[in-house]
């Protein structure tokens, strides 16, 4: 094993690690996530962010299928989910982790958080469209869980300075919570709703829903659940116009 990493200068590595450990970070609070040019390797920003994760259910079974079919299903799912997440001006990161598509958004205002929930509504309805199109090709239907979480998190730039390899890292609850909550969505006998949101997200959007649709409606649409040690609000919101178009045969 002596020559496996012969080119790695571990003594210089030790110096770099000590420099980072002794580094004084200049973290500041910002209403919105700054532009990439404002991020350096010695600063960070505390911002309100909302994250959304869309996780395919029973992906093990899906990936065990015919490879050409699986590739088409995954491409359709990721392509259109990304298209929905990429709308608006608050998107800060979109990515794919295995069978999951995620997005991180700068959400300084309640309207911004509501917009992320609207994206979840479109994605939930998108699955109806995909399954209708899959059925015509004799492809098994797709099911997903959608997790949404909001938090005041620290955003830092991480990587290797000078290497060109770096990325923003979200340190806090929003990304971790959204990822965890997505794993509960759309599980039979468990949550049994597609969209699972953190209490912070729900508390920031409920007044908007009440103003638009009435208190009785929101109490009917959203249900509070406790899953293990996790508290969440679940729903199965769909875009009415899009669903009507799908059920009408998707004719122009």
For residues 203 and 212, what is the distance between their CA atoms, to the nearest angstrom?
A: 15
Q: What pairs with residue 152 in β-bridges?
A: 48
Span 78-123, pLDDT tens digits: 999 999 999 888 898 899 988 899 999 999 999 999 999 999 999 9
For residues 239 and 102, what is the distance between their CA atoms, to the nearest angstrom?
A: 20
What pLDDT does 51 receive?
Answer: 97
Do residues 49 and 137 touch, judged by C-beta distance below 8 A? no
Which whole number is the average pLDDT over 124-135? 95
Indicate if the pLDDT at residue 164 is higher than 90.
no
What pLDDT does 245 receive?
Answer: 94
For residues 123 and 195, what is the distance between their CA atoms, to the nearest angstrom?
A: 10
pTM (predicted TM-score): 0.86
Indicate if the pLDDT at residue 71 is higher than 80.
yes
Residue 8's pLDDT band (cuts 50, 70, 90): confident
What pLDDT does 230 receive?
Answer: 85
Residue 65's pLDDT band (cuts 50, 70, 90): confident
What pLDDT does 161 receive?
Answer: 58
Q: According to the CATH classification, is domain 51-148+179-247 in 3.30.70.1230? A: yes
Give me the chain's average pLDDT, please.
Answer: 85
What pLDDT does 15 receive?
Answer: 77
For residues 91 and 154, what is the distance between their CA atoms, to the nearest angstrom?
A: 16
Span 9-63, pLDDT tens digits: 767 777 777 776 666 665 665 556 656 665 555 566 688 999 999 999 988 777 7
Which whole number is the average pLDDT over 148-167? 73
Span 238-250, pLDDT tens digits: 999 999 999 999 9
Span 176-201, pLDDT tens digits: 999 999 999 998 777 789 999 999 99
Contacts of 179 by beta carbon, 8 Å cutoff, 6+ apart: 51, 53, 55, 100, 102, 147
What pLDDT does 194 receive?
Answer: 96
Domain map of the chain by residue range? Answer: 51-148+179-247
């Amino acid at each position: 094993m002596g020559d496996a990493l012969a080119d790695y200068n571990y003594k210089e590595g030790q110096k770099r690690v000590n420099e980072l450990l002794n580094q004084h970070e200049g973290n500041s609070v910002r209403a919105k996530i700054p532009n990439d040019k404002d991020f350096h390797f010695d600063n960070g920003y505390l911002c309100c962010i909302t994250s959304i994760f869309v996780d395919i259910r029973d992906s093990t079974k899906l990936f065990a299928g015919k490879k050409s079919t699986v590739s088409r299903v995954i491409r359709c799912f990721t392509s259109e989910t990304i298209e929905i997440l990429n709308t608006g001006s608050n998107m800060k990161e979109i990515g794919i982790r295995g069978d999951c598509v995620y997005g991180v958004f700068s959400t300084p205002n309640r309207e911004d958080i509501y917009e992320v929930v609207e994206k979840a509504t479109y994605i939930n309805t998108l699955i109806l469209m995909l399954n209708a199109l899959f059925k015509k090709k004799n492809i098994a239907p797709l099911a997903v869980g959608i997790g949404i979480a909001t938090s005041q998190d620290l955003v830092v730039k991480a990587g290797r300075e000078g290497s060109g390899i770096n990325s923003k890292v979200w340190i806090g609850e929003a990304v971790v919570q959204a990822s965890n909550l997505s794993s509960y969505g759309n599980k039979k006998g468990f949550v049994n709703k597609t969209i699972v949101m953190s209490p912070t997200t729900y508390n920031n959007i409920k007044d908007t829903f009440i103003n638009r649709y009435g208190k009785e409606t929101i109490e009917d649409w959203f249900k509070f659940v406790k899953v293990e040690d996790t508290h969440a609000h679940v729903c199965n919101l769909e875009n009415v116009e899009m669903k009507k178009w799908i059920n009408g045969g998707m004719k122009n």
